[in-house]
Amino acid sequence: MRIRATVAAVTGALALSSLAVPAVQAADGPSYGKADIREAVQAAPHASARSTYTAEDAGTPYPLDLTFSNVKVNSGKPIVVGTTNPVSVPVTYTVTHSADIDLNAPDFYLDVEIYRGASYAEWDNLLLGDDWPVCTATSSTTANCKGTIDVYPDLELENVDATTWKAAGYAYDFNDQDPLSEDIDWSKVGYAEQDNLGTTKLQRFSKLTVNASPEPVKKGKTITVTGKLTRANWDTHKYAGYANQSVKLQFRKKGSSTYTTLKTIKTNTYGDLKTTVTASTDGYFRYRFEGTSTTPAVSATGDFVDVQ
């Protein structure tokens, strides 16, 4: 589990890899993919030094004059992930830096990632984008950046990951040095890291079905409405019933666009739903689940019943 996050571990928080090395970026962007930089930094002599970077400490990066702000993951919405399909969501933020820093230089690398755990230095799981972000200057010292968080549920997630995640960012300025060179002078490399840049929720995709029968039915007779509430299980990579959850039975009269709640029932141990109502008029029945902190809201597609 968590293959990308595991191989990304560099000095605790610094995680720069992806499943495969992305293609080299354009001439005005980073020269290497995240896996390349991860490998270079992991082998650096300062790999165990986290927050004690000083220019006087030979072989150790100096503090880079750069900060992150206005971080927004997935436009402020939860990241909803199923069992197997990859999910990519946008990450936008502002970078403020000294005027002598060129964010688009081929030897400059920065990114914002999300993690679950005590801190960026002690994460339990970490998610990042496959490619480097694109930054557009708004002044000589500020830029708006856009990247992605790319989630591979069958490789990276477990059910415990359905919770609130934190955002953090880092930047490396290699100052005309080749990151992969064995002769690199790390005292000439600038480094910045910033934690607590915001939060986002990771949720397990949910499904809800409904079936109202018999169809057609005589007015005054009993209609039985069944259904099932399931959600992604990231431990098994299958969908499983969501037990003991409150779900609304709703009805929309033929010709209307509005659903009205008739009653609220709970799913059983397997996520199953079953209740009865009295047939009165033509219309659509559906179940509606309002969601929880780990699972998004979902509505079943209405099932039409012809009342005769």
Q: Are residues 184 and 237 in the same domain?
A: no
Q: Does 162 share its domain with 235?
A: no
The pTM score is 0.86
Say yes or no: 211 and 197 in one domain: no
Report, as an integer, the average pLDDT of 249-253: 98
- Do 272 and 289 reside in the same domain of the chain? yes
Question: What HEC string does the chain produce?
Answer: CCHHHHHCEECCCEECCCCCCCCCCCCCCCCCCHHHHHHHHHCCCCCCCCCCCCCCCCCCCEECCEEEEEEEEHHHCCEEECCCCCEEEEEEEEEEECCCCCCCCCCEEEEEEEEEECCHHHEEEEECCCCCCEEEECCCCEEEEEEEEEECHHHHCCHHHCCEEEEEEEEEECCCCCCCCCCCCHHHCEEEEECCCCEEEEEECEEEEEEEECCCECCCCEEEEEEEEEEEECCCCEEEECCCCEEEEEEEECCCCCCEEEEEEECCCCCEEEEEEECCCCEEEEEEECCCCCCCCEECCCEEECEC
Same domain, 289 and 152: no
Provide the residue range defining the domain that includes 246.
206-305
Q: Based on the fold, state whether residues 138 and 249 are members of the same structural domain.
A: no
115 with 262, same domain? Answer: no
Domain boundary among 188, 203, 218: 203
Q: What is the pLDDT of residues 156-205, one digit of tens each?
A: 999 999 999 999 999 999 999 999 888 889 999 999 999 999 999 999 99
Give the residue from 173, 203, 233 where a domain finishes. Answer: 203
Residues 190 and 132 in one domain: yes
For residue 15, give the CATH number of its domain: 2.60.40
For a pLDDT cut of 70, what percent of the chain falls above it?
Answer: 86
Question: Does residue 18 sit in the same domain as residue 106?
Answer: yes
User: What's the number of domains the chain is made of?
Assistant: 2
Give yes or no for residue 34 having a pLDDT over 90. Answer: no
Q: What is the CATH number of the domain that holds 238?
A: 2.60.40.730
Least confident range from 1-10, 125-134, 144-153, 212-221: namely: 1-10
Do 272 and 158 fall into the same domain? Answer: no
Residue with the bigger pLDDT between 5 and 291: it is 291
Last residue of a domain, one of 203, 224, 252: 203
Can you give the pLDDT at residue 35? 81
